[in-house]
Every structure is written in structure tokens, then in C-alpha cells.
Amino acid sequence: MSLFCTSPLFSSGRSYKLTYSMMDDLKSPNYTDIRYKIQSDAERYTWTAYFVFGLLSSFIGDTLILIATLQKDTFKLNKFLVAIIQHIAVSDLANGAHFILPTIIALLEDKWIMGEALCYARVYIAYVFYPAGMSFISVLTTSKFLIMKYPTRVSNWSPRRAHQVCAFVWVFLLLNPILFLVVDKNDLAFDYRIYTCEYSFQSNTSKNIMFPLLLFFISALVPNILIIATTVPTLKYLALARRSAKRVKGSVPWQGALTVGLTSIVYCISTLPFTFYKILIGIGIMTEDPNNMDQVNYYRASYFLLMMNLVFNFYIYIVTIRSFRRFIYSKFSSAVPVSVNLNFSSVQEP
């Protein structure tokens, strides 16, 4: 049967068939119900402020990252890694537009007011750009690991090759919206747990266990495995290299490894709580209980935590990359003259 959802899910009061499609099992969770919304205005406005901070950080920070990567010697890292950073910044900007901004509007209005077309757009775009950002971070960590482990073999890796790898990722992830179109293009819902439109996996076809598992495998599992598997040895290398350098009173090129390591750590903090929840639900260790509000609140918090992965790269680069810090300082000091003594180096990271 089809469940037609009206206002307050959509401000016009019209019935949109797209908003919720479910099987005859009436026990299927219907998170379009207003009982799942944030009951406290203070909590809702706190989350709104959190997302506003994320939106500003993403739009300003990622724009500056893109500008910096296009200028010579602003990112003193391996050029292959810099090209990947460009794609991460592009995906983060897109995620700010389709993920953060609509969520802010829905939180402020306490409902979805952006209509049917944007509901479709939000869902179909989300399953390309957010997995792309995850995949690019996995490419970044894997590439840094290979550069350290096989420096002579990968010394000829060029920015062009990095763009080719990232282009393959972009094209491959188009499989996600294609799967939606093939399986059930209308199985969308405004989810009050996370204040955005989402693919609901509630129709007879899309609820088939193989479809969610395939989607999860493509979008999250592979990037997560690669990131964890390559970050641990990268950080281990950094620690060993610094200890060896101290013994001989030398130095070690640490910027690239530290940048990749911190990027991966923030990624894990922001994504693993939500990923583990999805894994436990998917393999049957935990059952999704729509009557368990603690579970609903955990789902909301872990989903909202995903935003950290979109906005913190800018701050990581400021901390770890001296040439980028100098670039940011020059941009802001030209507008607001400030006397600051910064220690910048021009060491080229291999």
C-alpha cells in the first residue's frame, strides 16, 4: 500500500506520493511521523547553529582550498596528493549545498518546505557526492601510504593520473542513483530523525536485503576499510621516522603524513558511529526499533556528526601545512592588518 504524507511534512499541504512508499506491513517504521521530530526548540536551534557553522566553514574553507591548490607552491605537498585534495574540496562544497543547507532550512521551519523536486534532488545527489568525499579520502590515505612504502616506484605519479583516478570514482558512484531509478525511484521520505529527505528502503523491492547491502558496500564499506588499513601504517611510519630523526639529530618530512593522518582521524570520528549502526542493523545484531527514542536520538546524532567530515579539512590544513597557513594569513592580513609572527618553511614534501 502507499502511505500519502501531507503537511507538516510539506508546507503546502498537498499529498506527495514520493514522500513515503511502504509495504503492507504496518509495523514498518514511518519516520515521517512528527513524533520523531526534535521536541525541544533549544535542541533544534543548537543543531541549527552547528550546521550554520558547518556551512560557513565549508563554503569559505573549501573555496580557499581550491584557490590555494590552483596557485603554485601554496600547497607544498606531493602534487598527486594536491590533485586529490582538489576533488575532496569540490565534493565538500557540493555536500554543503545539498546536505547542510537543506537541513538548516528544515530545522528552522521544523518541516520540509522545499517541495517535491528538491526532495528528489537532495536524495539522488547525496548518494553521489558524500560517498565521493569518502572515496577521495580513501584514495588520499592509500596514495600517501604507497608513496611512503614505494617512493621510487610511484615517483612519476602525476596530477593528471590523480585526476583520472578521481574521475573514475565520480563515474562509478553514479551507480547509486541508477540503482534508485531501477529499483524504486519513488521510495523517498522526509525523515524527522535527520530533518532531510532520504531514501527510505521501505517498498517491496528496495527493502530486499541485497539492495541496501550493495549500496552500503559501494558507498561506505570499501572506503572505510581502505582508510583504516592505510592510516595505521602511515601514522606508525611517522612515529618511527620522528624517533629515528631525533636519534641522529636530523629532520623528517612530516607535513604530508600528518595531514593525511589527521584527515583520516577526523573522518573516522565523524563517520564510524553511523557506519557501525548501519552494520549492526544490516547484519541483524541489532533491530531497528521505532519506539526506542534513545535509538532514534543516537541515529540523529551520529548522522549529524557526519558533517564534521565536510568542514574540518580546512582547519587541518591550516594546522599541518605551513605554506597553506601562510596563504591564509596573507589573504586575511590584506583585509585586516595584524602583526603576527609565524614560522613558515618552504620544505617540499615528497
pLDDT by position in tens, the chain (length 350): 333 343 344 444 433 344 433 333 333 467 888 899 999 999 999 999 999 999 999 999 999 999 999 887 788 888 999 999 999 999 999 999 999 999 999 999 999 999 989 999 999 998 899 999 999 999 999 998 888 888 888 878 899 999 999 999 999 888 888 888 888 888 888 999 999 998 877 766 655 556 666 666 767 778 888 898 988 888 887 777 667 666 655 555 667 778 888 898 999 899 989 988 888 887 778 888 888 999 999 999 999 999 998 889 999 999 988 888 888 888 777 666 544 454 544 444 44
Domain around 217: 17-327
- Could you tell me if residue 304 is inside a domain? yes
Count of CB atoms situated within 10 Å of the CB of 15: 14
- Could you tell me if residue 139 is inside a domain? yes
- Could you tell me if residue 148 is inside a domain? yes
Phi-psi region of 208 (alpha: psi -120 to 50; beta: other; left: phi over 0): beta
- Could you tell me if residue 197 is inside a domain? yes
How many distinct structural domains can be found in the chain?
A: 1
Please, what is the Cα angle at 88 between 263 and 156, to 5 degrees? 90
Domain of 78: which CATH number? 1.20.1070.10
Helix (H) or strand (E) holding 189, with range, is strand 188-191
Count of CB atoms situated within 10 Å of the CB of 47: 18
Amino acid in the structure at residue 140:
L
- Could you tell me if residue 345 is inside a domain? no
Q: Which has the closest alpha carbon to 348: 89, 81, 138?
A: 81
- Could you tell me if residue 347 is inside a domain? no
- Could you tell me if residue 342 is inside a domain? no
- Could you tell me if residue 12 is inside a domain? no
Model pTM? 0.82
- The grid cell for 247 is 636519534
